[in-house]
Amino acid sequence: MSDAPSRQLSLDLAFRPAMEREDFLVSECNAAAVDAIDRFESLSPPLLVIVGPIGAGKTHLSEVWRTSSNAVRADAGGLGEDMAARMLEAGAAIIEDMPGDPGALDEGTLFHILNAAVQNRIRLLMTSRTAPPAWGLVTEDVKTRLRLATVVTIDLPDDALFSALIMKLMADRQMTVAANALRYAVPRLERSFEAAENFVEAVERVSVEKRKTVTLGIVREVIAGQGGEER
């Protein structure tokens, strides 16, 4: 396989503008979550839980919504009366990484925030690696209100999304990637948004140092340096 193919992939993909922020790439793995964010205003009650593994893009998507809604964000372990008051005043809130560390979640405060959502006084988005029934909550009123939530799943990027993500990150840096280099990279990288960003940053450093375009040789070098497996 040649290290210096003459054909370069151009960025010829349809990217979806996300809430007047940077383009957010949509694929089958995250379409349900993106649709729920788009329909947040019509959810009844306006209570949404996005479930997915680490690296699937939950925080990225919640940040898209935070920017458009001016929501107040907190980690599950950071809830308290002051934070709840800020959330209620803003009318929109994000609680990340539910249920947090064992024993760290203030279920009393969570109940008041959930109550506000059920009463349509606040829009509430929560993210978690697991669905609400697996959170191990003890307060029955909290569990009852969580049953009213819309729960959607976001999966790790599939091949189509991961390829498009790498191409977009490279385009953001005014780089193109050789077709065979992209095909080589995709199955060898950890399937997460963070891994894609780290990979592209490393490729940029090497290509600048070598004053070369992004070839298969550069991609091989970067993946080898990151401990990527041969496949």
Q: For 112-165, what is each residue's pLDDT tens digit? A: 999 999 998 999 999 999 999 999 999 999 999 999 999 999 988 888 889 988
Four-CA torsion 35, 41, 44, 45, nearest 10 degrees: 110
Q: What is the pTM of this model?
A: 0.76
Dihedral sign for Cα 212, 214, 217, 221, please.
positive
Q: Give 172's pLDDT tier (boundaries 50, 70, 90).
A: confident
Question: Where residue 10 falls among pLDDT bands split at 50, 70, 90?
Answer: very low
- What domains sit in the chain, N to C, each tagged with a CATH number? 30-153 (3.40.50.300), 157-225 (1.10.8)
CB 16 within 8 A of CB 23: yes
Q: Which residue has the higher pLDDT, 5 or 86?
A: 86
> Over 60: is that where the pLDDT of 224 sits?
yes
First to last CA, the chain: 14
Rounded distance between C-alpha atoms, residue 26 and residue 157, angstroms:
10
Distance CA 215, CA 48 (A): 43
